[in-house]
Amino acid sequence: MRAEEGQKRRLMKQAFEARRRFRARHRTYRGETSPLKHVGVPEGLYEKCKRCGERFVKDDILENKMVCPSCDSHFRLRAIDRLNMTVDEGTFIEKGLGYISLNPLFQEDYEQKLAENRERTGADEAFIYGYGEIKGIPCVLGVLDSHFMMGSMGSVVGEKVVKSVEYALVRRLPLVLFIASGGARMQEGIYSLMQMAKTAGAIQKLNQQDLLYISILTHPTTGGVSASFASLGDIILAEPEALIGFAGPRVIKQTIKQELPEGFQSAEFLLEKGMLDKIVHRHAMKDTLYRLLYLHEKGARL
Amino acid sequence: MDILEKEKRLDALEEKLAQLEDDSAIQDLRIEIEDYKRQTMQNLTAWDRVLLARHKRRPTARDVIDNVFNTFVELHGDRLYADDKAVIGGIAEIEHQVVTVIGEQKGRNTEENIERNFGMPHPEGYRKARRLMRQAAKFKRPIVTLIDTPGAFPGIGAESRGQSHAIAENLYEMSNLGVPIISLVIGEGGSGGALAIGVANQLYMLENSIFSILSPEGYASILWKDASLAEQAAEVMKLTSYDLREFDLLEGILEEPAGGFQRDPKPVYRDIRTTLVQSLAHLSQKSPFEIKTGRYAKYRNMGFFQRFNYENLKGMV
């Protein structure tokens, strides 16, 4: 009895937290401050580029769309920054709020880890989606945030991806997904695995209704996410130098016991192997998306 | 003491039994063996089941096909790149019903295992499976898949030829086939590599098979940074047939004899046969549309999460 009450109280507490995030977020879309936290770096005024080692003032970097001004390497983005860069100001309406992961396998630490991640990123889960406009063209936008448990796909991410597809189906809008994920979420075990079949099936529905699906693979896209909805785009774009593959490089190295060639599993490598449509620099992303959406809209009218 | 050591002792007892000549001694030893089996081979731990699922004498997909189906004609190649020997497929007959069978094939010894790549398919294997499934749909043949793989192969060639794309395409294709798909996990069901032929209307598992998101070793090394903790990982990962039944992800479990499939495969083959015949009969009554939508609905509902309804919380926060 007491255990039940404890459970109830915990769920209520989660609900309150979710409500708080929900309210705070709605302020954002009306153009006020953001509850989703900016910038994927620790506190401090400066940010160091991991590749060339140079230090920059954080605001400058954000101004430059989180791309290193000296060596052009793309930093990982928070979902909110990605949305701000892609969607016309003030047009984004988030859908599918209030989904919270549970702990189906009763794993130690998992709930605590989720709570930490919710606190740190200000989001309910690793995937957010909603209605948005890109230079005036309406579409359904989804972003996987690699700052939330490596963007891994558990039951909630799977469900929300399917919901975003269903929303696109109902509104008959093109679907644009930005992907950054380490794969399926281990803590949810077999449920995470089944999300692969679930999301791939949903994309099949989209295909049957002749709707456009553009997936954009960013660093990193691996494992169960890359082996399901991420690889099924009508058009697959990628950011420069993003790591894209099924198995991670460490696992491959351990299995075949030899060094991997340079640039293996990078976006450039995959483009050469014919697995991508185009590599798009972050500065040109919005424009490219607009052009693709425009061309498809045009095609539909004829 | 894990199951393999127990099995060694059982083997020694059985060897002794074969050498005995005196009738009463044989009788005594038989009773001892039965007692030993009853005492030690039941209530297996998850790790025991992992070991049994990977047992080197465990019957492979080919053994199951040969013993369960009447005629089997194997078909090769993905028409794109190569023939992957880790995946076998073809047309077979079971009780006057023609089906397409696809299985992941491990080797029965080291030499065969190298040829079969330890049952770890490359993209060409999955593309072969997809080709055979499309063919099955064309000729209205139900599909039976036998899952037994540690996972999709992680290698340079596999990545270059689009391992994730091949798996994704299979999931995509299988969700839209108008013919029934029945999957049976006969050994290891490892991650996306297993699911890529396992999106089914009905999923069955042998008692001592496992189905998991990654190997216990992988889980231990990623979450606990120590691959040697695989035994503990197996316990917390919930990967046995009984766990999956509890999650309601299975249609049924096919029981194995004490000590595992490899000790006495005949009754298991019989069981597989009756189960397949029954579920084929059940599924063949449905229309292609029902088959398709039923399968999608089944996977659509898989997941374990909570959604808060903000309307209900109005005024409370």
**Residue B132's closest CA among B68, B66, B196?**
B196
B170 and B25 part of one domain: no
Q: Which residues of A touch B175 (CB under 8 A)?
A: 197, 200-201, 204
What phi-psi label fits residue B47: left (phi over 0), alpha (psi between -120 and 50 degrees) or beta? alpha
**Pair B76, B68: CB distance under 8 Å:** no
B59 and B112 part of one domain: yes
Q: Which residues of B touch A194 (CB under 8 A)?
A: 195, 249, 299, 302-303
Query: Do A190 and B160 lie within an 8 Å CB cutoff?
Result: no
Tens of pLDDT, residue by residue over A92-103, are 888 888 888 888
**Residue A2: predicted pLDDT:** 65
Report yes or no on B143 lying in a domain: yes
Q: Which residues contact A139 (CB under 8 A, 6 or more apart)?
A: A131, A132, A133, A173, A174, A175, A176, A293
Report yes or no on B313 lying in a domain: no
Quote the number of domains for chain B: 2
B7 and B61 part of one domain: no
Tens of pLDDT, residue by residue over B88-107, are 999 999 999 999 999 999 99
B24 and B93 part of one domain: no
B141 and B250 part of one domain: yes
**Token duo for residue B13:** 């007892």
Q: Which residues contact B135 (CB under 8 A, 6 or more apart)?
A: B100
Report yes or no on B309 lying in a domain: no
B130 and B255 part of one domain: yes
**Pair B164, A245: CB distance under 8 Å:** yes
Cα separation, B164 vs A203, whole angstroms: 15
**Token duo for residue A81:** 């920054």
Which amino acid is residue A210, in one-letter code? D
pLDDT band at residue A30 under the 50/70/90 scheme:
very low
B18 and B164 part of one domain: no
CA distance B258 to chain A (A): 26
- CATH code that applies to domain A76-301: 3.90.226.10
Q: Which residues of B210-223 are buried (b: 16+ CB within 10 A; e: fewer)?
A: bbbbbbbbbbbbbb
- Tell me which residue in B239, B299, B304 faces A197 most closely, judged by beta carbons: B299
- Tell me which residue in B158, B191, B238 faces A105 most closely, judged by beta carbons: B238
Report yes or no on B317 lying in a domain: no
B246 and B275 part of one domain: yes
Query: Do A186 and B213 lie within an 8 Å CB cutoff?
Result: yes
State which residue of chain B sits closest to A124, comparing Cα positions.
Answer: B307
B23 and B73 part of one domain: no
B184 phi, psi to nearest 5 deg = -135, 120
B73 and B27 part of one domain: no
Q: Which residues of A touch B310 (CB under 8 A)?
A: 19, 22, 97-98
CA distance A103 to chain B (A): 8
**Pair A244, A226: CB distance under 8 Å:** yes
CA distance A251 to chain B (A): 7
**Residue A40: predicted pLDDT:** 46
Tens of each residue's pLDDT in chain B, 317 residues: 788 888 888 888 888 888 877 778 888 888 888 888 877 777 888 999 999 999 989 999 999 999 999 999 999 999 999 999 999 999 999 999 999 999 999 998 899 999 999 999 999 999 999 999 999 999 999 999 999 999 999 999 999 999 999 999 999 999 999 999 999 999 999 889 999 999 999 999 999 999 999 889 888 888 888 888 889 999 999 999 999 999 999 999 999 988 889 888 999 999 999 999 999 999 999 999 999 999 999 999 999 888 876 655 555 44
Cα separation, B291 vs B177, whole angstroms: 8
Query: Do A264 and B305 lie within an 8 Å CB cutoff?
Result: no
We report the CATH number of the domain holding residue B178 as 3.90.226.10
A220 touches chain B (CB under 8 A): no
Cα separation, B225 vs B123, whole angstroms: 29
Report yes or no on B37 lying in a domain: yes
Mutate to test the interface with B, among A169, A192, A193 (most CBs of B within 10 A): A193
pTM score: 0.90
Tens of pLDDT, residue by residue over A259-284, are 888 889 999 999 999 999 999 999 99
List the 129-168 stretch of A: residues with Cβ below 8 A of B.
Answer: 154-156, 158-159, 162
Query: Do A231 and B164 lie within an 8 Å CB cutoff?
Result: yes
Q: Say whether A237 sits in a helix, a strand or coil.
A: strand
Report yes or no on B109 lying in a domain: yes
Mutate to test the interface with A, among B299, B310, B314 (most CBs of A within 10 A): B299
Q: Which residues contact A201 (CB under 8 A, 6 or more apart)?
A: B171, B172, B175, B176, B199, B296, B299, B300
Report yes or no on B16 lying in a domain: yes
**Residue A41: predicted pLDDT:** 46
Instruction: Quote the domain boundaries for residue B268.
Output: 48-300
Q: Which residues of B touch A255 (CB under 8 A)?
A: 153-155
Mutate to test the interface with A, among B126, B164, B188, B246 (most CBs of A within 10 A): B164
- Residue B10: C-alpha distances to residues B14, B36, B38, B39, B255 (Å): 6, 8, 12, 12, 20
- Tell me which residue in A16, A228, A245 faces B159 most closely, judged by beta carbons: A245
CA distance A293 to chain B (A): 24
Q: Which residues of A touch B155 (CB under 8 A)?
A: 252, 255-256
Cα separation, A210 vs A291, whole angstroms: 19
State which residue of chain A sits closest to B217, comparing Cα positions.
Answer: A251
- Residue A102: C-alpha distances to residues A6, A145, B307, B308 (Å): 15, 19, 10, 12
**Token duo for residue A163:** 């919901």
A268 touches chain B (CB under 8 A): no
Query: What percentage of chain A carries pLDDT values higher than 90?
Result: 52
B112 and B39 part of one domain: no
- Tell me which residue in B154, B175, B211 faces A204 most closely, judged by beta carbons: B175
A95 touches chain B (CB under 8 A): no
Query: Do B296 and A201 lie within an 8 Å CB cutoff?
Result: yes
Question: How many CB contacts within 8 angstroms connect chain A with chain B?
Answer: 196
Q: Which residues of A touch B225 (CB under 8 A)?
A: none
ipTM of the complex: 0.91
B26 and B114 part of one domain: no
- Residue B250: C-alpha distances to residues A300, B9, B170, B201, B302 (Å): 43, 34, 20, 10, 12
Report yes or no on B138 lying in a domain: yes
